[in-house]
Amino acid sequence: MTIRHLLSATALAALPAGFAFAEDLPPCEGCADSLTVVSWGGAYQASQQKAYSEPYAEMTGTDFTWDESSNEGVAKLRAMNEAGNITWDLVDVEGPDSQRLCDEGLAMEVDLDEMLAPAPDGTPASEDFGDSVVTDCFVPQIVFSTTFGYRTDVAAWNGKEPEGLCALFDTETFPGKRSLEKRPKKNLEWALLCDGVEKDDLYDVLDTPEGVDRALAKLDTIKDDVIWWSAGAETPQRLADGEVVLGSTYNGRLFSLIVEQKQPVKMLWDWQVFDYDGWAIPAGLPEDRLNRVKHFLYFATDTQRLADQARYISYGPSRASSQPLVSTHAELGIEMAPFMPTNPANQKNYLVNNIEWWADNQDDVEAKFQAWLAK
């Protein structure tokens, strides 16, 4: 169902002059015939294809090539820029990576109100997206979290189940392999929380010379029990295979594992880390490719499209106007609210990723983390 069909005649008449629905897109003049889009693979990328690219391709005939390299997006765009050959048209990024790309001139600045559709009531895009507009080069898409899943059938746990994040470090009560991302972000915060640091003091501690070392020392206590992941699909697969008993990944991947695959796994929402995810447009695209990117983004970020994505995966849409349109899973018919990171029941303890701190410190901390891994 489209936005147009959801609105009453009175509401339609009240829309501002010139308001356009995404389904009323005009032809894309001077546009390339194809798009190369970079994302994260797995259930998340599938939700983007179902909600955005498939209907857009049906409307416009555009050919899509999908690349699953978002985890390496900053490094690869740096290399492309140095080589003078930008082969990507649009990159799905987290907030801190958007800031780094913006700071380095690798992503173009965007005017959301000029480029994107307003809300159905005429609210400008920038206001409708609100706090999710985290950088000048960021086109918001979803709110997600990184959290933990654990198997419910581990015999060695004697019927106990983890009740909080710090079960990660309790290998005596909860023996077995863990799965953690092969990056410092989030792992350092979790380690410090379980080493007694208060939430409000995390980044003050990390700013000290000893802060990162303290977090790594805590991670040292489970290092031999960790299998590291680089792609979001790895932890769900390891949990499904019984290779690990507890692991971090994106909440939408765990939703797919638990609800769609019906694996004996539960979510552990304690100290989930919120992130904003969206699009970055590489700087220096030829005009025809940039025109196609803008045309696609107008469609893919409108109120209905963002609500549509949330019907395939449990990530909250960034637009305020999209949230009331999210109800049940498009295929399974179940209510999506209990699986959303923004559900109040799942927010008893949570963190918001500190975009500025990570943008300023990512490269140095990453080098230190990788050196620690190699020991």
User: Residue 20 has what pLDDT?
Assistant: 45
16: exposed, middle or buried (C-beta count within 10 Å: 0-12, 13-18, 19+)? exposed
Q: Note the pLDDT tens digit of each residue in 226-270.
A: 999 998 889 999 999 999 999 999 998 999 899 989 999 999 999
Which residues in the chain land under pLDDT 70?
A: 1-24
pLDDT at residue 24, rounded to an integer: 64
Residue type, 237: Q
Residue with tokens 């690349």: 67
CA distance 208 to 206: 5
Q: Are 315 and 252 in contact (CB under 8 A)?
A: yes
What pLDDT shows up at residue 345? 85
pLDDT at site 180: 98
Give the per-residue pLDDT at 23: 54
In the prediction, which pLDDT does 116 show? 94
pLDDT at 303: 92
Structure token digits, residue 290: 């940039």
Measured CA to CA, the distance from residue 307 to residue 325 in angstroms comes to 6
CA–CA gap between residue 55 and residue 318 (Å, rounded)? 20
C-beta of residue 141 within 8 angstroms of C-beta of residue 277: yes
Q: What is the pLDDT of residues 61-90, one digit of tens each?
A: 999 999 999 989 999 999 999 999 999 999
- Nearest CA to 143 out of 366, 363, 343, 371 is that of 343
- Return left, alpha or beta for 30; rule: phi > 0 is left, psi -120 to 50 is alpha, else beta: left
